[in-house]
A and B are shown apart, each in its own frame.
Chain A
Amino acid sequence: MANNLKDNEFDVIIVGGGITGAGTARDCSLRGLRVLLIERNDIADGATGRNHGLLHSGARYAVKDSESATECIKENMILRNIARNCVEDTQGLFITLPEDAETGFGLDYQKKFIDACIAAGISAKAIDPKDAIRMEPSVNPTLIGAVQVPDGSVDPFRLCSANVLDAKLHGAKVITYTEVTEFVKEDNTIKGVKVHNKKTGEDAVYYAPVTVNAAGIWGHSIAEMAGVHVGMYPAKGALLVFGHRVNNVVINRCRKSADGDILVPGDTVTVIGTTSTKVPFEECDNMSVTREEVELLLREGCALCPSLANTRILRAYAGVRPLVASDDDPTGRSISRGIVCLDHETRDGIKGFITITGGKLMTYRLMAEWATDAVCRKLAVAEQCKTAVTPLPGSEPKDQYSEVKIPQFAGANLGMKASIGRQGSMVRKIDFTNAEDRELVCECEQVTVGEIRYAVNELGVTSLRDLRRRTRVGMGTCQGAFCIGKAAAALAAALGKPEMADQLAADYLNERWKGMSAVGWGDTLREMEYLQRVYKSSNESK
Chain B
Amino acid sequence: MRYDAVIIGAGIAGTTAAEALLAKGLRCALVAQGRSKSNPDLNALVARGLALYLGDEVLSGDIVEGRVVALHTQKLEDVALVADNYILASGKFFSRGIVADMDRVYEPIFGLDVEYDADRSNWFNADFAADQKFLSFGVKNYGQGKVAHEGVVLSNLFAAGEVLEGICSLDSAEKIAASAAEAVSNIK
Chain A positions 484-515 with a Cβ under 8 Å from a chain B Cβ: 506, 509-510, 512-514
Q: Which residues of chain B have C-beta atoms less than 8 A from A536's C-beta?
A: 129, 170
Query: Is residue B93 within 8 Å, beta carbon to beta carbon, of the partner chain?
Result: yes
Q: Is the CB of A522 within 8 A of B128?
A: no
| Contact A510-B101, Cβ < 8 Å, known A529-B94, A530-B94, A532-B169 | no
Q: How far is the CB of B158 from chain A (nearest CB, A)?
A: 22
Query: Is residue A108 within 8 Å, beta carbon to beta carbon, of the partner chain?
Result: no
Q: Which of A520, A531, A535 contacts B123 (CB 8 A)?
A: A520
Q: Which residues of chain B have C-beta atoms less than 8 A from A347's C-beta?
A: none
Query: Is residue B100 within 8 Å, beta carbon to beta carbon, of the partner chain?
Result: yes
Query: Is residue A3 within 8 Å, beta carbon to beta carbon, of the partner chain?
Result: no
What does the 1/0 interface line of B74-105 toward A look like (CB < 8 Å)?
00000000000000000011101001111000
Q: Which residues of chain B have C-beta atoms less than 8 A from A531's C-beta?
A: 128
Bound state CA distance, A520 and B128, in angstroms?
13
Q: Is the CB of B101 within 8 A of A521?
A: yes
Q: Number of residues in A with C-beta < 8 Å to the partner?
A: 26
Q: Is the CB of B170 within 8 A of A517?
A: no
Bound state CA distance, A9 and B56, in angstroms?
70
Bound state CA distance, A528 and B120, in angstroms?
15
Query: Is residue A526 within 8 Å, beta carbon to beta carbon, of the partner chain?
Result: yes
What does the 1/0 interface line of A31-51 toward B look like (CB < 8 Å)?
000000000000000000000
| Contact A526-B135, Cβ < 8 Å, known A520-B123, A538-B172 | no
Q: Is the CB of B38 within 8 A of A539?
A: yes
Bound state CA distance, A415 and B124, in angstroms?
34
Bound state CA distance, A1 and B101, in angstroms?
61
Q: Which residues of chain A have C-beta atoms less than 8 A from B38's C-beta?
A: 539-540
Count A-B contacts at CB 8 Å: 73
The closest CB in chain B to the CB of A508 belongs to B128
Bound state CA distance, A538 and B170, in angstroms?
7
Q: How far is the CB of A443 from chain B (nearest CB, A)?
A: 16
What does the 1/0 interface line of B154-168 toward A look like (CB < 8 Å)?
000000000000001
Chain B positions 111-135 with a Cβ under 8 Å from a chain A Cβ: 120-121, 123-124, 126-129, 132, 134-135
Interface centre among B100, B126, B128 (most CB of A within 10 A): B128
Q: How far is the CB of A462 from chain B (nearest CB, A)?
A: 20
Q: Is the CB of B134 within 8 A of A506?
A: no
Q: How far is the CB of B186 from chain A (nearest CB, A)?
A: 25
Q: Is the CB of B129 within 8 A of A522?
A: no
Query: Is residue B24 within 8 Å, beta carbon to beta carbon, of the partner chain?
Result: no
Q: Is the CB of B12 within 8 A of A509?
A: no
Bound state CA distance, A536 and B168, in angstroms?
11
Q: Which of A517, A525, A535 contacts B100 (CB 8 A)?
A: A525
The closest CB in chain B to the CB of A541 belongs to B37
- Say which size band chain B's interface belongs to: 20 to 34
| Contact A540-B134, Cβ < 8 Å, known A510-B128, A513-B124 | no
Q: Is the CB of A506 within 8 A of B129?
A: yes
Bound state CA distance, A533 and B101, in angstroms?
20
Q: Is the CB of A526 within 8 A of B93?
A: yes
Q: Is the CB of B37 within 8 A of A520?
A: no
| Contact A539-B12, Cβ < 8 Å, known A514-B126, A521-B102, A532-B132 | yes
The closest CB in chain A to the CB of B173 belongs to A539
Q: Which residues of chain B have C-beta atoms less than 8 A from A530's C-beta?
A: 94
Q: Which residues of chain A have C-beta atoms less than 8 A from B124's C-beta?
A: 513, 517, 520, 528
Q: Is the CB of A522 within 8 A of B100?
A: yes
Q: Is the CB of A533 within 8 A of B169?
A: yes
Bound state CA distance, A541 and B38, in angstroms?
8
Query: Is residue A537 within 8 Å, beta carbon to beta carbon, of the partner chain?
Result: yes
Q: Is the CB of B169 within 8 A of A522?
A: no
Q: How far is the CB of B131 from chain A (nearest CB, A)?
A: 10
Query: Is residue A291 within 8 Å, beta carbon to beta carbon, of the partner chain?
Result: yes
| Contact A539-B126, Cβ < 8 Å, known A526-B94, A533-B94 | no
Q: Which residues of chain B have C-beta atoms less than 8 A from A514's C-beta?
A: 126
- What would 7 more interface pairs be, CB under 8 Å, given A513-B124, A540-B169? A509-B129, A512-B128, A513-B128, A520-B100, A522-B99, A522-B100, A537-B170
Listed A/B pairs (25) with beta-carbon separation below 8 Å: A291-B120, A291-B121, A506-B128, A506-B129, A510-B126, A510-B128, A510-B129, A520-B124, A521-B100, A526-B96, A528-B124, A528-B134, A529-B93, A529-B169, A530-B94, A532-B135, A532-B169, A533-B170, A535-B128, A537-B169, A537-B170, A539-B12, A539-B172, A539-B173, A540-B169
A positions within 8 Å CB-CB of B: 291, 506, 509-510, 512-514, 517, 520-522, 525-526, 528-533, 535-541
